[in-house]
Amino acid sequence: MCLSTPLLAGCGSASTPADSVVSANQRLGGAWRLQSFSPAVPLDLPLQAVLRGEIGQLVVTFDHGQFQAVGPGVNLSSRYEITSASGDLLSLILYDAQNVGYHFSAQFAGKVLQFQCNDKPWIGFGNFERA
């Protein structure tokens, strides 16, 4: 007989935070194409130009802690870390070539990954679609 707290759906069905991160990493794996981005703070002119060129073109591929971003004006390979996950929600940090971390929160919605970046200069909201 299983005597567990009412929060658990059944014996052995509870998922640990580590399990949730592993699951989110598996779901995140693969290629995603940038479909939109709306900055919360106006970008300077050079960044506006980069963003315009990347919408619909930039593909970010995630693979177990490593990512590659390739588009008309971007070619970057670096690392990422999922810091927390629960259901369709996750928090992660993407590191640039200088090892500066950019904090994101994201939500899976079918073949779409909705995200919010919380660090300058890329503070804002956007969507990736499974490529």
Give a yes or no: residue 120 inside a domain: yes
Does residue 5 carry a pLDDT above 80?
A: no
Non-local (6+) Cβ contacts of 7 within 8 A are none
Does residue 99 carry a pLDDT above 70?
A: yes
Does residue 6 carry a pLDDT above 70?
A: no
Query: Which carries the bigger pLDDT value, residue 16 or residue 102?
Result: 102
Q: For the chain, what is the domain count? A: 1
Query: What is the distance between the alpha carbons of residues 55 and 124, in angstroms, rounded to a whole number?
Result: 14
**pLDDT mean over 34-44:** 96
Give a yes or no: residue 5 inside a domain: no
Query: Domain of 110: which CATH number?
Result: 2.40.128
Hey, which residues does 107 pair with through a beta bridge? 89, 114
**pLDDT mean over 96-113:** 96
Confidence band of 10 (pLDDT split at 50, 70, 90): very low
Give a yes or no: residue 11 inside a domain: no
Give a yes or no: residue 45 inside a domain: yes
Structural domain boundaries enclosing 77: 17-130
Residue 123: C-alpha distances to residues 19, 83, 97 (Å):
29, 19, 19
Average pLDDT value over all residues in the chain: 89
